[in-house]
Amino acid sequence: MQQLSYTDAELLSEHDYAALQQEAGYRLHGGFDASGRYVSPRTRVRWPAVRAWQQALERRGWPLIDADPGLLQRPSYPNVAQQALLLRHGLGQSLWDALTVTGVVEARGGMLRDFVAPDFAPLVSEDLSVTATGHLNRGLLRAHGLDEAGDPEAGIGGHDAAWFAVRDEIFGAGAYPVPEIPESLGRPAQGRRLMPQLPEDHEQLILLLMNVLMIEVRAESFFDFCVRVMRTPGLFPRREDAAAHAADMVDRIRQDERIHVAYLRTVLSELRSFTFRSVLDGEEMAGARFMDPVWSDMVQWHGVSVYEHDREQTRAKLRSQMRALAGGEALLAEFDALGDAPSVA
């Protein structure tokens, strides 16, 4: 019989590493096997568990929700060609800022290490002990928090430190000042209940999981952008080998994040499938009935609204930097003309 119930220790267990991961002065999580292949942290049991829960959900006739990068309706800004133009003119600060902000935001994920999710068992008919949802407080959330922000007590960095290592690898430490950090990347509170069929703390958890999943989906676009820029010849004079290595480091983070997308998709898909008893009137209904409209709005916000807002703010900063250079207006015009370019010329 397929195993569907796990202990915290199992879900947090590590592979045996032949070598640990250390980059740019940072001790990072995960490690390498005997062949030199990178192995993500805490995935020895976590990956098989998530796949087992997904298969169990599919046997019940429920698909996984779509969490493909194709949900994003806008390209990266700046795109790869625009970023290459900036770097060729000595304007690396926008990339430095993006890497720094990403590291700081990843550190906020440390809150998941000790976060306690509300119990859905009293609200649904299904047995949660054999689902991913039933394991949120049995290792899944803690593993996610450790992945993002590391284990400070053990001196091991997570994705926060990994992004700083990537940044320092291609630019050197302290190349630019630390930028202003946005307050949040998630969709802000709406000021009203979106799923009144649930207790408010359960609604807030679902919104948190939806926000985090869409942030992970957006991250895939950033991974692709970074790798393509860092592997473009000529953009990092005298640091090309370091830039290529930094791209490899981004690919490791990218590998780590796949388990986050997988378990979040699984939990939200399970919640759609469960039979809830509404706290409003006791009516029984599938979670999909009240979750699907909220998920659709969340995808729209992350896929379109955030892009439009961030694009305007980023362009204002870049316009100021370009206009400070000799021939800055012509450079700005060339930058804008590359707006729809799919790749580096």
Does residue 188 have a pLDDT over 80? Answer: no
Check pLDDT > 90 for residue 68: no
pLDDT tens for 85-121 read 999 999 999 999 999 999 999 999 999 999 999 999 9
The pLDDT value given to residue 230: 98
The per-residue pLDDT for 103 is 95
Pick from 57, 67, 66: which is nearest to 133 by CA? 57
Q: What pLDDT is attached to residue 342?
A: 42
Largest CA distance in the chain: 70
Task: Say whether pLDDT at 344 is over 70.
Answer: no
The predicted pLDDT at position 186 comes to 61
Question: pLDDT (tens digit, 9 = 90+) per residue, 271-315?
Answer: 999 999 999 999 999 999 999 999 999 999 998 888 888 888 899
Q: Which amino acid is it at 96?
A: W
Task: Count Cβ neighbours within 10 Å for each residue of 69-85 and write b for 16 or more, e otherwise.
Answer: eeebeebbbbbbbbbbb
Round to whole Å and give the CA distance between 140 and 79.
Answer: 34
CA quadruple 260, 261, 264, 270: dihedral positive or negative?
negative
The mean pLDDT value for 207-234 works out to 95
- The whole-chain average pLDDT of the chain stands at 93
pLDDT at 166 over 70: yes
Identify the pLDDT of residue 343.
40
Integer angstrom CA distances of residue 23 from 15, 29, 40, 144, 242: 20, 11, 15, 21, 11
Q: Are 268 and 213 in contact (CB under 8 A)?
A: yes
345 pLDDT above the threshold of 50: no
Which one, of 71, 97, 110, lies nearest residue 216 by Cα?
71
**Tokens standing for residue 98:** 């993006």
Q: What residue type is assigned to position 341 of the chain?
A: A
- pLDDT for 340: 63
Would you place residue 341 in the very low, low, confident or very high pLDDT band (cuts 50, 70, 90)? very low
Write down the pTM of the prediction.
0.93
Per residue in 15-32, pLDDT (tens digit) is 999 999 999 999 999 999
Lowest-pLDDT choice from 68-82, 147-161, 217-231, 253-267? 68-82
- Check residue 190 and give its pLDDT: 66
d(CA 171, CA 176): 9
Side-chain-facing half-sphere of 215: CA atoms under 13 Å: 17
- What average pLDDT score do residues 133-155 get? 97
